[in-house]
C-alpha cells in the first residue's frame, strides 16, 4: 500500500459507507470482542432500560473507523488513534465513517474522524496521527 499523494490540510479520506447494523452483526461482534453486554443483543434488557431496541457497541464503530484509516494508510503508520463516543448507533442504522486531514507537521498528519448516520447524527468523533513522510 502506498501513501496518498500530496497529503495536506483539507485532504479528505475516502468515506467508508457500511451496511445497516443488523442483529447478526451485533451478535458476531459480541462473540469476537468478548463484549456480551446484553444491552447490545437482548431486546428484553433494552426494553427494561427504557429503550425501544438494542444498539451497537461503541467499539464496533471505533473498529469501523480503524478500517477507514487502514484503507488509507498502512497500519504501521498510525501513531495515535482516539475517539469519543457521543451518541448511540441504533440497530438498522447505516454508519458512514469520514476523515479529513487538519494539519501536517514534521511528517505527521493529524486527521479529524467521525462516524455519522443518515439522519445526520454523529455517533463518534475522534482523531488520529499518521506518519506521511
Which whole number is the average pLDDT over 59-81?
97
Instruction: Say if residues 132 and 74 touch (Cβ distance below 8 Å).
Output: no
2, pLDDT greater than 80: no
Cell of 124: 463518534
Instruction: Write the pLDDT tens digit of every residue in 99-118.
Output: 999 999 999 999 999 999 99
Question: Sorting pLDDT into bands at 50, 70 and 90, what band is 126?
Answer: very high
4, pLDDT greater than 90: no
The pTM of the full predicted model, rounded to 2 decimals, is: 0.91
Rounded to the nearest angstrom, the gap between the alpha carbon of residue 125 and the centroid of all alpha carbons in its chain is 8
Q: What is the pLDDT of residue 92?
A: 96
Question: Sorting pLDDT into bands at 50, 70 and 90, what band is 6?
Answer: confident
Instruction: Write the pLDDT tens digit of every residue in 11-63.
Output: 999 999 999 999 999 999 999 999 898 999 999 999 999 999 999 999 999 99
Q: What is the pLDDT of residue 133?
A: 83
50 vs 104: CA distance, rounded Å = 45
Instruction: Compute how many other C-beta atoms are within 10 angstroms of the C-beta atom of residue 24.
Output: 8
Q: What is the pLDDT of residue 3?
A: 61
Residues 6+ apart with CB under 8 A from 5: none
Question: Sorting pLDDT into bands at 50, 70 and 90, what band is 1?
Answer: low
Cell of 19: 451496511
- Domain 16-131 CATH superfamily: Hotdog Thioesterase (3.10.129.10)
DSSP state of 92: T
131, pLDDT greater than 80: yes
Amino acid at each position: 500500500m502506498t501513501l496518498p499523494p500530496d497529503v495536506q490540510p483539507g485532504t479528505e479520506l475516502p468515506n467508508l459507507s457500511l451496511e445497516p447494523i443488523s442483529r447478526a452483526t451485533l451478535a458476531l461482534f459480541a462473540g469476537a470482542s468478548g463484549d456480551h453486554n446484553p444491552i447490545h443483543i437482548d431486546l428484553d434488557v433494552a426494553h427494561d432500560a427504557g429503550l425501544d431496541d438494542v444498539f451497537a457497541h461503541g467499539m464496533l464503530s471505533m473498529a469501523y473507523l480503524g478500517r477507514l484509516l487502514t484503507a488509507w494508510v498502512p497500519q504501521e503508520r498510525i501513531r495515535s488513534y482516539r475517539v469519543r463516543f457521543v451518541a448511540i448507533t441504533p440497530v438498522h442504522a447505516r454508519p458512514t465513517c469520514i476523515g479529513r486531514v487538519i494539519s501536517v507537521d514534521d511528517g505527521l498528519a493529524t486527521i479529524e474522524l467521525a462516524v455519522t448516520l443518515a439522519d445526520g447524527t454523529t455517533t463518534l468523533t475522534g482523531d488520529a496521527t499518521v506518519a506521511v513522510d
